[in-house]
Amino acid sequence: MSRTHSERATERGVADGYGDPLGLGPEARIGGVRDGRLYWTRGRTVGTWTPSEGRVAVGTLPTPGDGGPDAAFRLRHGRLAKRALRPLVGSWTTTNLWPLRGGTLLATVGRRVFRSDDRGRSWEPVHRLPDSSGPMGVLPTSVCLHGGDVYLAEYTLGDDPARILRSRDDGRSWETHVETTAVRHFHGVFDDPYRDDLWATSGDADDESAVGRLDGGEFVRVGSGSQRWRAVGLAFTPRAVLWGMDCSYAERVELLRLRRDGPAEPETIGRTDASAYYAATLPVDGELWVAVATAAEVGADSTAPAGRANRSGDTARVLVASSASSYETWYELAAFRRRRPLGERLPGVPTASAYGFLAADEEMGLFVNPFNARSDAGSVIRVPPEALPRIAEEASAVHAPAPGR
């Protein structure tokens, strides 16, 4: 049976008891899984979670000691300031974290990039992002390992060229690998686990929206020219690349599949009601599962055509599908209603969107991380691998293939 999205976004988020809260606390952010550890941040605190040890705080991202900007940095990124403003504008995040290899971590706090070689106990600044970068510096999809090097996609919002940087020494130093003025910015950079390819996504106007590969220091578009090619995260399968449209003003947001050896145009394999941001994959019992998270966005898209308003609802969702249906049958795993702060009633006060961040590990399962949801006290929820096949057996699909397809 196929249905539209349920209106019953549960306060616990994950439907029907498929997941368990980890107790990392409100405003925790997952940063990825490496060597059996889930890495997380809460403000500038860095920690790990494992099934045996649970939650462990490891270290603290530093405050740059360069005089005057120090106080502004603390105000913008400090926990006390965010806690004070939370009732007015909601929760917002300015920190990202990526585990690389051998205990090396990379993090951003606003426009600062930091590196640790002892699993987050100590940190050193290694790069400063352009002044036009967004409040979070870059997106969580902006770092990957490929061919022994580290890549970082800058996320500029002004007139700076769009750049992807490369580090040949595990993040200690950086050089420009790709630079272009043909796109506004890059949304992410991705290692293809099935082929020796490095992919990237860009936006935001129709002619800037593209999915493509990096080749010889150039961004080579696989496809572009419409909002169907405006993606943030990519999910890789042996036969295809999957993503969801990152477009808050679209009449319908499509989930798309680009076959590796098929037509140059992506196929619609699902639909949802808000911009799709992040994706994760998880093998379970011979099938490959793909999870896609949407955002409950606020405000207008500055690149939208005249008269096209934000159509996002107030719910961030996590949708899942498996290779058993060729990713054409999707189930709603989680739904989180956006927190509605006091600032929504006051003209001119910006408020925060709600997101669902994702991470996956073959042994530990899928981690779902609601942020700025009405009830996110558990903050991170683990869905064990064995729970995903149960969804296909017990839940109704939100989008399924047409009869006879």
pLDDT, tens digit, for every residue of 315-339? 999 999 999 999 999 999 999 999 8
Q: What gap in Å lies between CA 295 and CA 371, rounded to an integer?
A: 10
For residue 324, how many other CB atoms are within 10 A of its CB? 15
Given a cut of 70, is residue 400 above it in pLDDT? no
Q: What gap in Å lies between CA 262 and CA 347, rounded to an integer?
A: 49
pTM for this predicted structure: 0.93
pLDDT band, residue 375 (cuts 50/70/90): confident
Q: What gap in Å lies between CA 205 and CA 305, rounded to an integer?
A: 9
Name the β-bridge partners of 98.
106
Worst-scoring range by mean pLDDT, 53-62, 63-72, 160-169, 273-282? 63-72
Q: What gap in Å lies between CA 54 and CA 48, rounded to an integer?
A: 8
Q: Per residue in 244-270, pLDDT tens?
A: 999 999 988 999 999 998 778 999 999
Closest CA to 193 of 151, 161, 238, 242: 238
User: CA 138 → CA 98, 109, 128, 351, distances in Å?
Assistant: 12, 9, 11, 19
Region 387-393: what's the mean pLDDT? 92
In the prediction, which pLDDT does 11 show? 47
Worst-scoring range by mean pLDDT, 224-228, 378-382, 388-392? 378-382
Average per-residue pLDDT for the chain: 89
Instruction: Please report the beta strands in 43-142, taking only residues with DSSP state E, as ranges in sequence order.
Output: 45-50, 54-60, 95-99, 105-109, 112-116, 124-128
Helix (DSSP H) and strand (DSSP E) numbers for the chain: 3, 28
Q: Per residue in 136-148, pLDDT tens?
A: 899 999 999 999 9
Given a cut of 50, is residue 209 above it in pLDDT? yes
Given a cut of 90, is residue 358 above it in pLDDT? yes
Tell me if 365 sits within 8 A of 382, measured CB to CB: yes
